[in-house]
Every structure is written in structure tokens, then in C-alpha cells.
Amino acid sequence: MGPAAKIPLRPPNTRHNLNSIRPSNPPKQKNTVVLPGTDVAKDLDDIAAGRATWQPERNFYEVNGRSYGVEGNGTVFPISGPGFVQMSRPEYKVLQQLIGSSGDVAAARETLLRDPSVSESHWAAALAVFAHHRTYRGEA
């Protein structure tokens, strides 16, 4: 059922994988980050094998407690569920700075000091996600 019945599905763009996010990735209005250890490959295998529920009215699959949308070219994108974190544009910008500064919170804060779209609440959300990143060294 759904697009997987007609075309092979492609994994999400690497910009969604926490350990593949780069400071140069353009932040979208809404960004869903896949935390390490989330078995997206198994989810895609389950979708291909027909073990997922297709929601045609919302154009997404539900499998293993997670939801995935499908672009026209067959690329899936994470929406929600265990191991996925939805972030706003400012939260994602903070996360990118934390990654770009290899976890140096002071350097990341200095870089974003003049960005009016970033507030203290965005830092808390980004730090919670960054705690799962391979370069995380603990809170500064």
C-alpha cells in the first residue's frame, strides 16, 4: 500500500541523522532529528515488506511506533516517534552551532549572540538533543 508498492523507498536525507548534521545544512522551518540507535533501516525494510500502516489522508507510513512521510521521488523523511526529535528552526540552528564548535557551548553562544531568532528556551532543547551527539563532552 502507498508509494512503497510502486517504487523502492530511499532512506532519509543525512541532514536528519544527528551525527551527520553539518553547520552548513540549511535549517528548515521544522526539522526532525534521528537520534543514534534508531533503526530506520529496519523501519524501511518493514515498510517494503508490507508491515507498516499507510495513512493516505496524511501521506505517511506508521511502523514500529514511528511515522515517516514520503517525497515524490521515494525519499522518506522522519516525522515523529521514539528516537525522533522535532526541532524548530532556531533550535536546529543552536544544535548546528554546538556541533560546529565540537560541543564548546561558550563558543556556540558567542556565535549566536546576535541572532534575534534564538532565545534561551532554544538552547535547552538543542542541548538535550546534542547530549546524544558523538562529540558531546558534558555540559559546560
Q: Which residues contact 24 (CB under 8 A, 6 or more apart)?
A: none
Residue range 51-89, pLDDT digits in tens: 999 999 988 999 999 999 999 899 999 999 999 999 999
User: What are the beta bridge partners of residue 10?
Assistant: 75
Per-residue pLDDT band at 6 (split at 50, 70, 90): confident
Task: Kindly state the helix (H) or strand (E) to which residue 106 belongs, with its residue range.
Answer: helix 105-112
User: pTM of this prediction?
Assistant: 0.90
**pLDDT value of residue 125:** 95
CB 112 within 8 A of CB 118: yes
- Give the Cα separation of 137 and 130 in Å (integer): 10
Residue range 93-136, pLDDT digits in tens: 999 999 999 889 999 999 999 999 999 999 999 999 999 999 88
